[in-house]
Amino acid sequence: MKDIQGFTHYSFFTEMSELAVKNNSFDLSLGLPDFDIDERLKSFLKESAELSTHNYEPLSGNPLLIENIVAFNAKRKNNIAVKTHEVTVVPCATFALYTALKSILNQGDEVIIIQPSYYTYGPSVVMNGGVPVYYDLNPNFSIDWDVFKNCISEKTKAVIVNSPQNPTGKMWKKEDWIQLYELIKNREIYLISEEIYDTYCYDGAEHYSSFIHPELKNRTFCIFSFGKMFHTSGWKVSYLLASEELTALFQCHQQYISYSANAPAQYALAKYLEIFDPTTNKVIMQNKRDIFNELIRETPLSVEQQAEGSVFQIVNFRNISRTMIDVEFSKWLTVEKKVSCLPLSAFYHSRKNSDYIRFSFAKKDEVIVQALEHLIRNL
């Protein structure tokens, strides 16, 4: 267990949120929404409580939910063709990531992690006996494929990709998946593709899943999250798409860790999927992004690239301070200027500084406006 003590821990993220509460600051640090869920979803959960949904669901998940996951993915503009036996309902995306790695890794296998990245990736690799190999995105958060391919070795067993990405908001396009496949097609290398912000793609863009690529899907564990889609992270229900062979391998390990996910919530989510319109999700969240970016232009903080997806915006703070490291600046902004954020270095394994901070715009419109107007007056 000592191997994971050097990683960034969730306590750092909650520390920033606690600092916001302590200093009566606007908290834009975490991606946890402060607005309510759809009343219809609540109604389905109440309906579920009156039914026989209180025992274990099958290992793969509630059959109605699986059926509706298949239908939902078929209706996407970039439709994902998936069969029922390629779907597994899981407690959360982190569980899916960990169990997918456990399904494929042997001791000493290498896993490429693209940085900046979510804090759970490195520890999940290490806890499964793997060795993280870090690839840093370009300064504009794009991929240099010539550099990326140098990370691939005879020991490489998997690549972890997140799109739309937390924290940068960048999205992988069809061409990116093709590029990746060309680099790994002649090797036994798997893909862990975390696509949990799939319903938050902006400016006319549509999510393009790794699972669409005809050859890549056969070596992919593709992870989605109802918690992110419907703002129900506490319900602990996500889902995984994988080939029949990889699904069997995944479920073999899953049965020994967490046999199934929240049963009443699975029923409620299944019913809600039948009426859910992802366009509404996209419009609401893009509007929040646009409110944030329009107002932040009136501050010395600089948005170099608008988020293409996700619920996060990266902001350059060097017009305000050339000397503070990003952790110091984040704490200063939270305590002295009353708006909380996260330093980008928290999303790197070994980097101690950057020019950027991350804000979440998954907040009530009035909170975004009040927070940014406060910065306009005080920066």
Residue 44 covered by a domain: no
Boundary-marking domain end, from 251, 273, 295: 273
User: Residue 11 is part of a domain; what is its CATH number?
Assistant: 3.90.1150.10
List, for residues 184-220, the tens digit of each pLDDT value: 999 999 999 999 999 999 999 999 999 999 999 999 9
- Rama region for 57: left / alpha / beta (φ>0; ψ in -120 to 50; rest): beta
Query: Residue 132: is the preceding peptide bond cis (ω within 30°)?
Result: no
Do 149 and 24 sit in the same domain of this protein?
Answer: no
Distance set, CA 162 to CA 139, 165, 173, 213 (Å)? 18, 5, 12, 16
CB 114, CB 132: distance < 8 Å: no
**In this predicted structure, what is the pLDDT of residue 8?**
67
Query: What range does the domain containing 251 cover?
Result: 55-273
Q: Which pLDDT belongs to residue 270?
A: 98
Return the pLDDT at 5: 63
Both tokens of 1, joined, read 């267990």
Instruction: Examine the fold and report which residue of 235, 255, 273 is the final residue of a domain before the chain moves on.
Output: 273
Q: What is the pTM of this model?
A: 0.96
Give the pLDDT confidence score for residue 6 in this predicted structure.
66
pLDDT digits (tens, 9 = 90+) for 31-88: 989 999 999 999 999 999 999 878 999 999 999 999 999 999 999 999 999 999 999 9
Residues 295 and 236 in one domain: no
Residue 1 has pLDDT above 60, yes or no: no
pLDDT number for residue 53: 79
Question: Could you tell me what percent of the chain has a pLDDT over 90?
Answer: 92
The whole-number pLDDT of residue 66 equals: 98
- In the predicted model, what is the mean pLDDT of the chain? 95
**What is the model's pLDDT at position 13?**
81
* Residues 292 and 257 grouped into a single domain: no
Say if residue 236 is in the same domain as residue 283. Answer: no
